[in-house]
Amino acid sequence: MTKGTSKSFKDLAIRYGFLCLLAGLVVFFSLFADGFAGPRSAVFVFQSVAITGILALGVTCTLVVDGFDLSIGSVATTALMLSAYVMVVLEQNAFVAVLACLIMGALVGLVNGLLIVKMRVPDLLATLGMMFLLIGLQRIPTEGRSIATGMRLPGGEVAEGTFSASFLWIGRHRFDMVLEDLIPVPVILFLIIGVCVWVFLELSRHGRLMYAIGSNERAAGLAGANINRYKITAYMISGVLASVGGILLAARLGRGDIASGNNLLLDSVAAALIGFAVLGAAKPNAFGTAIGALFVGVLLQGLTMMNSPYYTQDFVKGAVLIVALVFTFALSSRGRKGGH
Amino acid sequence: MTDHACQILSVEKAFGQNKVLRDVSMELPKGEVTVLMGANGAGKSTLVKILCGVQPADAGEIRLFGEIYAPSSPGDAFEAGIVTVHQSINDGVVPDLDVTSNLLLDRLTDSTSGFFMSFKKMHEEARKIAAAMHFEVDVKESVANLGVADRQMIAIARAMASNPKILILDEPTSSLSAVEAERLFELIDHLRNSGVAILYISHRMSDVRRIADRIVSMRDGTISGTFEGTPLDYEGAVTAMLGHSMSEVVLNENKRGSAALELKDIRLSEHGEPINLTAFRGEVLAITGLLGSGKSQLASIIFGQVKPISGEMFLDGKKYLPSTVGNAIDEGVFMCPKDRASNGVIPDFDITGNMTLPFLQEHSRFSILSSRKQKKLAQSMVSTLGIVCRSEADEIGTLSGGNQQKVMVARWLQKPCRVLVLDEPFQGVDIKARRDIGSHVRETGDARATIVFVSELDEALEIADRIVVLYEQGVVGEQTTNDIDLAVMHAQISGQTPAGVVAG
């Protein structure tokens, strides 16, 4: 058995370094940014990362099987437009809208998976193609315009449907907790999905097999794992979670805004990759992904409260990502593994 | 002094608390083949890594032609004239490039050669190198399309072509056929005569007998014996390496039970002879043959990876048509594949995770894994097979090759099955681990049929009750181990007897 004393400082640094950095950041902003410490601000951080976080959890699943999903951002915006179209133009209720989005997400994931598994298209290329296709597809029904009540449709008539109240509830309702109207629905959803994905990947046998596939696909296959099915499942999870993100975005905005969600892909991929560094995992993992998303959220919230301009945000995210990747690949021995 | 190409003096190396090399001193004389023997974990690989600049030594010094040599990178070692062919074949070749580029890889990294490449010249040169090895290959072919043996030959050819002063070969024959191995030995003879010092690491006694001028045995990180002069004391070398002498294995008579797996008229190729074979319960059946004799193909047919051209299989009398690996496992046909690094080991997992992989369903309730159950199984397998590790939670990559192989075999021994197929289970495994695995497989084999695919006849003799020889996709011979005629079997393996004459 391992002895407690045998752990060197470096091991500890790799394991807890990123969490310490996060704690340090929180302390720093609490001291120097007025109003940072407090439940409202904390909830705001969570809210700001909920949608990216959910997408990032999806992309984590594809990373686990050694894949990649570039289409998540466009799946989310497609879900945004689709839900708006279903309610505003087709005048359906919230349930139909949500269902349509989830089915769309699952379908896109299925097609991605089939392209990769059956057609042998490399994952990056297949999902890149899908990303393009969806960005275009979501604009065709409305000829490139955003969707809102009262808009003029291509046929000439006016769209009379509205976003239903119960749909908007998903994005805007806040539950009471200690304070009135504190926790928004997206945050709850983010936490629930986070726990579910974590349980699935870390504790279930399916997750274990997915990690095995990501580590040595041939060996996993020869141990009896149905590789194709697990890979397709990973892309379907990714697609469905991306569509959930899109639904939340639509419910928050209340209109089918064609220009929203541009940053979703990069932000969520960054969160998943930052997650590699958490607890020295050096591999995709759900807990790390959630922490990665929060890390970016805390940093941006704090900097914003200290009046740093909005255009520095991407720079900061990029810097955090690079530091996290150095953590993962240069410092931890697992990152360097591969020799004998 | 001058007749030693390389002297290693009191070299030490530790990984954390684990002392891998303790006060290791040896020399490599010019123009001689020094064979380094040692069980897994004895420190052979670490010594090689220090010599070829992959890792620095913690203490001690190395002298090269009398001068102190402390390489800081593999490039340093190469410049000093130390050329290494590593055990892991894929470390030695770049699969995406063609054979020419692989053979001339060192030329590409040489900064004195020009910016542009002359393909015609390169191909010519590559052909010359290949011809020197009697190695028939299309130099324009991409290495990705070549088999393991060809890749190994490329790695060796490249090492030979770079005019080494010291050549290190780490298990070079582990994926070569007998003919290819002989070609390699001839080249080694040639290099030896031209004064190159050769360090040859192998577990194969047949290699050692053929090639060794001196034998150095290692055990637990120290040199446990150096053997020189003619005749070499092979027994003594093995004893020094293992710490106790290993008697020849005596096969206890196994009881042959009912037929478990029957192959009827299985054809591996269009023109191949139909194969009829029966594997009985309680019996260990070895199938041997040269590379390309159809062994691997037959194994993958039994395990549901590919379909035979024609013919059928019966499992306990019932038709057996596996369409996937998962199918085969469900039917109770398990296979431990060859080449564990690419087909077996999950590098990101620990010992436990690697062991339980195929049977996670049994280790989980409602799909949620039980770590207690898995740990219990792993602990018991670690102790029954004698896997050398700190605990069952060690990363698989920290184990030596033989211990990794034990984990792979343990993976398929954890559950009773109807047919157990072991494809080259002794590849890159030292004698101790080989006998551990062999005896455990025999002890547990009462209730199942065991089929072992091996290319080394020695290994077949050690484990099997009955040996079947394949040659060019057909069965050419079959004998029981206890009254075997080795001369006949050798002839059959090399295809000198027409098929069918000696069958039965």
Same domain as B332, residue B205: no
Q: Are A149 and A138 in contact (CB under 8 A)?
A: no
Same domain as B236, residue B279: no
Q: Say whether residue B362 is in contact with chain A using an 8 A CB cutoff.
A: no
Q: Say whether residue B345 is in contact with chain A using an 8 A CB cutoff.
A: yes
> Which residues have a Cβ under 8 Å from the Cβ of A207 and sit 6 or more positions away?
A64, A200, A201
Give the pLDDT confidence of B149-170 residue by residue, as tens digits.
778 788 888 887 778 889 999 8
Least confident of A231-235, B180-184, B212-216, B262-266: B180-184
- How far does CA A44 lie from the centroid of its chain? 17
Of the candidates B283, B225, B233, the one whose C-alpha atom is nearest the C-alpha of residue B254 is B283
Same domain as B202, residue B272: no
Q: Say whether residue B342 is in contact with chain A using an 8 A CB cutoff.
A: yes
Q: Are B358 and A224 in contact (CB < 8 Å)?
A: yes
Could you tell me the pLDDT band of residue A134, with boundaries at 50, 70 and 90?
Answer: very high
Expressed as residue numbers, the domain containing B315 is 259-347+418-493
| CATH number for position B321 | 3.40.50.300
Q: Say whether residue B306 is in contact with chain A using an 8 A CB cutoff.
A: no
Least confident of A21-30, A325-334, B405-414: A325-334
Same domain as B309, residue B204: no
Same domain as B233, residue B265: no
- Say if B68 falls within a structural domain: yes
d(CA B160, CA B153): 10
Find the mean pLDDT for residues A261-278.
Answer: 91
Same domain as B284, residue B335: yes
ipTM comes to: 0.84
d(CA A127, CA A75): 11
Question: Nearest CB to B369: which of A204, A215, A222?
Answer: A204
- Say if B59 falls within a structural domain: yes
Q: Are A205 and B360 in contact (CB < 8 Å)?
A: yes
Q: How many CB atoms lie within 10 A of CB B443?
A: 11
Instruction: Determine what percent of chain A falls in helix, strand and coil, rounding each to the nearest 5.
Output: 70, 5, 25
Q: Mutate which of A216, A230, A337 to test chain B, going by most B C-beta atoms within 10 A?
A: A216
Between residues 10 and 69 of chain B, which touch chain A (CB distance below 8 Å)?
A: 16-17, 45, 54
- Tell me the whole-structure pTM to 2 decimals: 0.77
The total of structural domains in chain B comes to 2
Give CA separation, B320 vs B170, B315, B358, in Å. Answer: 41, 6, 20
> Which residues have a Cβ under 8 Å from the Cβ of B235 and sit 6 or more positions away?
B245
Give the pLDDT confidence of B307-324 residue by residue, as tens digits.
988 999 999 999 999 999
- Does residue B244 have a pLDDT over 60? no
> Which residues have a Cβ under 8 Å from the Cβ of B504 and sit 6 or more positions away?
B478
Give the pLDDT confidence of B174-229 residue by residue, as tens digits.
777 777 788 788 888 888 888 899 999 886 777 888 889 999 988 878 888 898 88
Cis amide linkage into residue B56, ω under 30° from 0: no
- Say if B204 falls within a structural domain: yes
Q: Percent of chain B beyond pLDDT 90?
A: 30
- Does residue A4 have a pLDDT over 70? no
- Say if B454 falls within a structural domain: yes
Same domain as B329, residue B190: no
- Say if B385 falls within a structural domain: no
- Say if B308 falls within a structural domain: yes
Q: Are A226 and B343 in contact (CB < 8 Å)?
A: no
Same domain as B92, residue B30: yes
Same domain as B14, residue B154: yes
Same domain as B156, residue B280: no
Same domain as B123, residue B35: yes
- Say if B90 falls within a structural domain: yes
Strand partners, B29: B4
> Which residues have a Cβ under 8 Å from the Cβ of B52 and sit 6 or more positions away?
B71, B74, B77, B82, B84, B168
Give the pLDDT confidence of B133-152 residue by residue, as tens digits.
777 788 888 888 887 777 87
Same domain as B273, residue B234: no
Question: Nearest CB to B360: which of A208, A218, A219?
Answer: A208
Q: Give SS3 for B18.
A: strand
- Say if B449 falls within a structural domain: yes
